[in-house]
Amino acid sequence: MSFSPKEKIKTLFKLLSEPKVLTSLISFRSFGYLLETGWFNSFKQGMPLDKDNNPIPWFTYSAIEFISERLNKNLFVFEFGSGNSTLFFSERVSQVTSVEHNNDWYYKVSKTAATNSRIILVGDNNANEYFSTMKMKDQYYDIIVVDGIFRNECLMESVKHLTESGVIILDDSERDHYAEGIKYLLKREFRQIIFSGIAPGIFFKKCTTIFYKDKNCFNI
């Protein structure tokens, strides 16, 4: 979300007229939740980072905390959309496979990718090509992250490639145009946990949702 110069000036004068609020906001730079989560690091760098500048997903903080405690080196992850989440997962699971449609983002992430991660570049004009990386091998995944393009279709396709204990993570699940994919999962007896709140470097409400069934790898 961006503001016009007029809106920025209006906001500044508003803060100056409320010194108690302004003092409180300034104090957040020195202590509190935003500092502890690394929110300021993410804001300055324009990418999701924790308080020690380590890469984290662009999920809500509550989702990151929940997921982090449940990862282990026996898990296989597939991502629709690469990024700092690729680096985050690769440190905590056995293997990460990511499909990416953006050239610049692909080369940026590939430079720092770990040896247990594989990032595949595809075109962005065909959903079947986007899914092709998941279909290339007879591989099933414990965690499938949907955070790229064709998200409704990705949710539907993911069901075919989950292990019996697999879970699906959908970011930005508050967006109305992902309702079709969410409805598809719920009709197939998936349950959901919705994590609402702020995310690294941004200060508006968003949601990250985990879809799961009984005996899932997150022990929900």
Is 220 in a helix, a strand, or coil?
coil
Of the spans 3-17, 125-139, 147-161, which averages the highest pLDDT? Answer: 147-161
pLDDT at position 8 is 55
- Confidence band of 129 (pLDDT split at 50, 70, 90): confident
Phi, psi of 145 (to 5 degrees): -105, 125
Cα angle 29, 33, 37; round to 5: 95
**Contact at 8 Å (CB) between 217 and 69?**
no
pLDDT at position 88 is 97
- Confidence band of 133 (pLDDT split at 50, 70, 90): confident
- Location of each CATH 3.40.50.150 domain in the chain: 61-212
Is 24 in a helix, a strand, or coil?
helix
Q: pTM of the entire structure?
A: 0.90
pLDDT per residue over 9-44, tens digit each? 665 566 567 776 556 666 666 778 888 999 999 999
**Contact at 8 Å (CB) between 57 and 88?**
yes
Up-side HSE of residue 129: CA atoms within 13 Å toward CB? 9
The two structure tokens encoding residue 58: 């662009």
CATH architecture of 61-212: 3-Layer(aba) Sandwich (3.40)
pLDDT at position 85 is 96
pLDDT at position 168 is 98
Identify the H or E element spanning 155.
helix 151-158
